[in-house]
Amino acid sequence: MELKELLHERTNLDAVIILLYLLGVFIISHNYLKIGRKHFNLVLWIGITHIFFTLLYYSITLTSAADAIGYYRRVYFVFNTWKDTLGDSFGQGANFIYFVLYPLVNFLEISYFGCFFIFSFVGFIGFKLLFDIVLKINENVWTNKFMFFLLPNLHFWTVGIGKDSLYFFALCAFLNAYFFNKTFRSYIIPFIIIGLIRIHILLFIAVGYMLANTFQNKSKSRSYKIAVIMFFAILSYVVFPILKDRLGGDESTSVDEKIERMQNANMNGDSGVDLSNSLLIVKWLAYMYRPLFYDAKNVLSLLASFENGVYVYMSYNCIKMMRFIKKYTEIEFFFWFCFFIMMTISLPSAYLLSNLGIAMRQKTMAFPFFLSLYFYLVSTHEKINNKLDQNRLLSQKN
């Protein structure tokens, strides 16, 4: 069977997979009905949104250079045995995706279309785990800000065959296990997935956790904390170029990685903005918040700019809420945990940034932590305001 025919193939098994997907979305959504109708509706819409972007992403890959096609093609045509997928890297990076995909394609004979829905459902579970955290932070109380879970970019990049859907799930599972203080067993699968996809991220998570502990330690002076942060900042300038050389070397050896870089630019409408020689802080701000309206070159980048405008608004509110909260209480460790891990994950990626198209895809890994710290601030801010209102009422009565 030729590749083009293979990519357009539909089977009865695909219909079964989609029905199971829909059933899974409904069952998971129904579990939130006991909390509230709005919570049920939101999770249901998260699932529907995820399915919509699954179909959209699949359709786009049929007419564009796509790493999903590269993964499926190699598993179908190139590898003779499951063991071959491990390669010289023992299943790291792209080889991990080959390893996961091989039994789906060669043992279960699932089509390219069907495999999309399997990877997409894993991404949906990531959203479910992240929403559980945010819901607990807000004490199960509904807020319209939960609608941020329907923003399209996170859905778009967590539905396809490839690293992003598995990686997003693993980060959300890790954060969920930490927040709910689960046993060590709950960390095993997330750490294995993160380590096999991008092993250096485990180091960044460890550094972020250590910085959060240092920053929250009341026995340490402010000068000591600043010194620790400066030490890691200087160390980063030494490590990042080494990391860049290492990752650059890995990518140049893989045809599929080159296709992935082409896809990042094409599917996001590469802005053509060269950031390779910019300062790190400029790169980081671009990584997190661009393209904005003035960067838009086509419909996709214009839509992305609207979403980035929402992230700018959320970040501005975070700064306002932090300043307000610090007047009345200590900011809890969980906030610093999310903040420092978000920074240690995003800064190296921002350092490697050369164009905005790639950033739109890669920054999905930072947003589970961003959304968690945002909703922590929203919840804490609301609690303080409610307490202040109660005190005002009591003082008026007296």
Instruction: Taking residues 275-292, report their average pLDDT.
Output: 81
Classify residue 311 as left (phi > 0), alpha (psi -120 to 50) or beta.
alpha
Closest CA to 356 of 397, 295, 302: 295
Higher pLDDT, 362 or 387: 387
Span 350-379, average pLDDT: 84
Domain boundaries, the chain: 1-197, 199-398
Residue 268 pLDDT greater than 60, yes or no? no
pLDDT at 108: 94
Higher pLDDT, 258 or 31: 31
pTM recorded for the entire structure: 0.89
Report the run of H or E that residue 379 belongs to, with start and end: helix 367-397
Mean pLDDT, residues 1-5:
81
Greater confidence, 78 or 176? 176
Fill in the amino acid letter for 206: A
Mean pLDDT of the region 301-305: 79
Task: Band the pLDDT of 379: cuts 50, 70, 90.
Answer: very high
Given this model, what pLDDT does residue 147 score?
A: 96
Highest mean pLDDT among 1-10, 56-65, 105-114, 301-310: 105-114
What is the full DSSP assignment across 74-92? Answer: IIIII-SSTGGGGTTTTT-
Cα separation, 292 vs 342, whole angstroms: 21
pLDDT of 83 over the 90 cut: no
pLDDT tens readout for residues 212-232: 888 877 777 778 777 877 777
Dihedral of the alpha carbons of 289, 294, 300, 306, in degrees to the nearest 10: 50
pLDDT band at 243 (very low <50, low <70, confident <90, very high): low
- Tell me how many degrees the CA angle 39-44-50 measures, rounded to the nearest 5: 130
Of the candidate ranges 5-14, 18-27, 195-204, 247-256, the one whose mean pLDDT is the lowest: 247-256
- pLDDT confidence band for 259 (50 / 70 / 90): very low
CA–CA–CA angle 31, 369, 355 (5° rounding): 125
pLDDT of residue 128: 98
pLDDT digits (tens, 9 = 90+) for 124-164: 999 999 999 999 999 999 999 999 999 998 899 999 999 99
How many Cα atoms occupy the beta-carbon half-sphere of 266 within 13 Å?
14
Query: What is the residue-wise DSSP string for 129-182?
Result: HHHHHHHHHTTT---GGGGGGG-HHHHHTTSSSSHHHHHHHHHHHHHHHHHTT-
Q: pLDDT tens across 20-71, in order? A: 999 999 999 999 999 999 999 999 999 999 999 999 999 999 988 788 999 9
State the average pLDDT for the chain: 85
Cα torsion 38, 43, 49, 53 to 10°: value is: 170
Rounded to whole angstroms, the Cα distance separating 61 from 77 reads: 18
Q: In degrees, to the nearest 5, what angle opens at C-alpha 72 toward C-alphas 71 and 76? A: 120
